[in-house]
Amino acid sequence: MSTNIPNTFSRRDFLRTSALAGGGMLIGFNLITACKEKAEMPVDIASLNFNDFNAFIKIADNGYVTIYSPNPEIGQGVKTSMPMIIAEELDVPWDHVNVEQGKLDTENFQRQVAGGSQSIRFGWDALRQTGATTRQMLVNAAAARWGVEASTCSTKQGVITNAKGETLGYGDVVKEAAALEVPEGVTLKEPKDYTIIGHDAVNVDIEKIVTGKPLFGLDYKKEGMLYAAILRPPSFGKKLVSFDDTEAKKVDGVTDVVRFGEKAIALRSANAWVAGMLGQSDKIAVVATSTWQAMKGRDALKAVWEDGSPMESTEGHDDELIKILDGSNLNTLRKDGDVKKAFAKADATLERTYESPFLPHACMEPMNFFADVTADKVHLVGPIQTPAGTAQSVAGMLGRDPKDIHLEMTRMGGGFGRRLYGDFAIEAAELSAKINKPVKMVCTREDDIGIGVYRPGIKYRIKAGVKDGKVTSYHLKEACINSNMYGLIPHFFPAGAIENYQVDAGNYKSNITTGAWRAPYTHFLAFAEQAFFDELAEMMEIDPVQLRLDLLQNVKGHKDENIQYEPKRMEDVINLAVEKSGYRNKKDGVFQGFCAYYCHNTHVAEVADVVIENDKPVVKKVTVAVDCGIVVNPTGAKNQIEGGVIDGIGHAMYGDLSFSNGTPNAQNYDKYRLIRMKEAPEVETHFVENELSPTGLGEPALPPAVAAIAIAINQATGKRLYKQPFANKLEVKELIG
């Protein structure tokens, strides 16, 4: 368990300073590694060098602070919360802090990735230490000017005070501070003294968002920039043979029609991570002076396609995945005891299969990227969750020195995992290199959903055995398209709680591109596992909450380093959710479903309230109890939880991307249904209060919501749900209201 005990920090090589030519002090720092010996600090803001530093802080001579925030913003709030941590230890008023998105030109970057709810968890120590070290340098500078011991001075709200009561503002001493040695052994604040962390801070971009200022990739413009629409294969498996661009070239404003993609195909075979829309066929780009003209030109193309690889369908996938579950050709990811023997000895067993379809990410901002490839440099601008990896891929594809790649991140109109894959940036770069012009590639919604990257279809089969009133065995099998659960997921609950325990996984290789989707694997695994435990408790005739608490007792005191969920923290969230939801004091006509889950280092318990209205089950409310350690920004944290819960419910209820002949049957929001306002329940969030290091919140609230509503719907209707989307099974159109 990581604690927040203030520590002395002996590493000083992570931070460098300089005096800015125009006045003020600049601090460059690295979140994880030491600064390179030869890393030089710039002396003007125009030449911030993100090759050597992850992020910078400027303290102007009026005391105002600008933080060049290091992590990509996809809506998870780190552009606000990470600077809050620096500002807290720097001890400045939050309204004197301005936050700008850091640019990226880096080859040695450690974690400039938005994904896995890890930004805050990884940044916590380094961000605090950066703030505290800078504060100490300012104090040291003031103390030197006064000729007093630094230890006799204190700071508050950007002002340094000595024993005589004399004061200096931070801005007054920046010049001297910039020239001082970086101190070691700085002391961090006690959580009780926090004035910024734990207090609501509104999204730092809110003014721009509500007034429509350019922020997103799609909003980016550069003089002379052209727009490109790309004709990609109509289905997974088709390859381009030839095309006729006569009509396309007649469209006003069309400047180029080019066949391209061979470089991306070569890259894909070398680096599957950037798969996406790349790599199964050449494509045709129509380049024009405006987005609409490019799209019109694209629609006027006549292309001939041939069958390259099999055109797959959902029925085929279902058969293949069930075959995997029925067969014996699976990899064992964890094995305790002997489940087969335990099943043979059991008084009773329960076996259930849970199924879910492909899902698109359906980010509101369609994929897009700007590229300007010239002899001097490669300028890339756009929304990307993996800027460093994408820059490296582009360098590899174009055969350029990584130093030539200048990638600027924009705010992102949603990510959910889709923008981990840089395929759209790579397309833009290959196209710009081919036509020698600055160009922005813009996808339509149909491009995005029709031939993108998807959360793959998954099926779980779970079997448990009960002997003498105890769960003695648990066997989970996973069958998934293309990939399987990874890392420590096989060691999540109930690993360690059941004597005979096994997790097996197998996959079917498809030509449909698949990838991470918000809370990878756990977004569906949590439903399967927790809905199973609810049914198991029913079979055992014990209270479902008590079943979880009993199992958690078995994990206490374990010495298995793969098991990272903490029984005590899980109990705390369970008890808080039970208390706040009134689970033990049921109201007439309200049916409740309980779920507890740990993923992405955060413990969450949820209770869903379902009522029957007009003979239909309606989810009215979800009560959430969360232990994410110290809550950096409560309003932002709650926003993530509210969104995660409703997102989880929406996709479980309606999300369905089935395939016929290699093509998704839904390509836009008319057929691919997303949850809307009338279907969204109230979400009420409660935090477990402690002083433990913070963990992320972009993902952990989503997975348990699905099981909670499924269990509550069963309470209300007597129908167990095993297959997503649930709305199909319930045969109602407007289920949640």
> What residues line the site for another protein (CB under 8 A)?
74-77, 200, 202-203, 205-207, 209-216, 218-219, 221, 227, 252-253, 290-293, 296, 362-366, 411-416, 442, 444-446, 635-636, 639-640, 642-647, 650, 668-670, 674-678, 680, 682-683
Shortest distance, CB of residue 191 to another protein, whole angstroms? Answer: 23
Distances (CA, A) of 100 to 19, 352, 364, 623, 685: 20, 50, 23, 35, 30
Cβ pair 80, 419 in contact under 8 A: no
Residue type, 184: E
The residue (of 253 and 402) whose beta carbon lies closer to another protein is 253
Shortest distance, CB of residue 210 to another protein, whole angstroms? Answer: 4
The residue (of 219 and 543) whose beta carbon lies closer to another protein is 219
Residue type, 196: I
Shortest distance, CB of residue 619 to another protein, whole angstroms? Answer: 13
Rounded to 5 degrees, what angle do the CA atoms 700, 477, 489 make? 30
The residue (of 568 and 676) whose beta carbon lies closer to another protein is 676
Rounded to 5 degrees, what angle do the CA atoms 549, 692, 562 make? 55
Shortest distance, CB of residue 5 to another protein, whole angstroms? Answer: 31
Shortest distance, CB of residue 257 to another protein, whole angstroms? Answer: 17
The owner of tokens 């101190």 is 183
The residue (of 136 and 368) whose beta carbon lies closer to another protein is 368
The residue (of 385 and 530) whose beta carbon lies closer to another protein is 385
CB atoms near residue 732 (< 10 Å) = 16
For residues 140 and 596, what is the distance between their CA atoms, to the nearest angstrom?
A: 49
Give the up-direction half-sphere exposure of residue 212: CA atoms within 13 A in the CB hemisphere: 0
The residue (of 132 and 295) whose beta carbon lies closer to another protein is 295
The residue (of 229 and 435) whose beta carbon lies closer to another protein is 229
The residue (of 202 and 542) whose beta carbon lies closer to another protein is 202
Q: What is the DSSP string of 592-633?
A: EEEEEEEETTEEEEEEEEEEEETTEEEEEEEEEEEE-SS-S-
The residue (of 176 and 205) whose beta carbon lies closer to another protein is 205
Shortest distance, CB of residue 644 to another protein, whole angstroms? Answer: 8
Is residue 437 classed as helix, strand or coil in its secondary structure? coil
* Start-to-end Cα distance in the chain: 40
Query: Would you state the structure tokens that stand for residue 311, as one six-digit string?
Result: 């055109």
Shortest distance, CB of residue 724 to another protein, whole angstroms? Answer: 17
For residues 436 and 223, what is the distance between their CA atoms, to the nearest angstrom?
A: 15
The residue (of 443 and 498) whose beta carbon lies closer to another protein is 443
Q: Are strands 470-481 and 458-467 parallel, antiparallel or unpaired?
A: antiparallel
The residue (of 119 and 293) whose beta carbon lies closer to another protein is 293
Query: Would you state the structure tokens that stand for residue 381, as one six-digit string?
Result: 């601008």
Shortest distance, CB of residue 703 to another protein, whole angstroms? Answer: 15
Cβ pair 180, 137 in contact under 8 A: yes
Q: Is 423 left (phi over 0), alpha (psi -120 to 50) or beta?
A: alpha
Shortest distance, CB of residue 399 to another protein, whole angstroms? Answer: 33
Shortest distance, CB of residue 501 to another protein, whole angstroms? Answer: 35
Shortest distance, CB of residue 567 to another protein, whole angstroms? Answer: 31
Cβ pair 311, 236 in contact under 8 A: yes
Shortest distance, CB of residue 496 to another protein, whole angstroms? Answer: 33
Q: Residue ranges of the alpha helices (H) in 186-312? A: 206-211, 246-250, 262-270, 291-299
Residue type, 538: E
Shortest distance, CB of residue 447 to another protein, whole angstroms? Answer: 10
Residue 723 is classified by DSSP as B
Distances (CA, A) of 614 to 713, 726, 736: 14, 18, 12
Shortest distance, CB of residue 276 to another protein, whole angstroms? Answer: 19
The residue (of 75 and 183) whose beta carbon lies closer to another protein is 75
For residues 475 and 462, what is the distance between their CA atoms, to the nearest angstrom?
A: 6
For residues 204 and 202, what is the distance between their CA atoms, to the nearest angstrom?
A: 6
Is residue 675 classed as helix, strand or coil in its secondary structure? coil
For residues 155 and 139, what is the distance between their CA atoms, to the nearest angstrom?
A: 8
How far does Cα 278 stand from its chain's mean position? 22
Q: Considering only CA atoms, which of 618, 692, 108 is closest in space to residue 389?
A: 108
Q: Considering only CA atoms, which of 84, 182, 78, 199 is closest in space to residue 135?
A: 182
The residue (of 529 and 684) whose beta carbon lies closer to another protein is 684
- Quick one: how many helices (H) and strands (E) in the chain? 18, 30
Shortest distance, CB of residue 716 to another protein, whole angstroms? Answer: 22
The residue (of 367 and 476) whose beta carbon lies closer to another protein is 367
Residue 249 neighbours by CB under 8 Å, 6+ apart: 257, 297
Shortest distance, CB of residue 668 to another protein, whole angstroms? Answer: 5
The residue (of 206 and 266) whose beta carbon lies closer to another protein is 206
Is residue 704 classed as helix, strand or coil in its secondary structure? helix
Shortest distance, CB of residue 677 to another protein, whole angstroms? Answer: 5
The residue (of 442 and 462) whose beta carbon lies closer to another protein is 442
How far does Cα 510 stand from its chain's mean position? 25
CB atoms near residue 2 (< 10 Å) = 13
Cβ pair 278, 268 in contact under 8 A: yes
The residue (of 143 and 519) whose beta carbon lies closer to another protein is 519
The owner of tokens 């477990």 is 688
For residues 82 and 89, what is the distance between their CA atoms, to the nearest angstrom?
A: 12
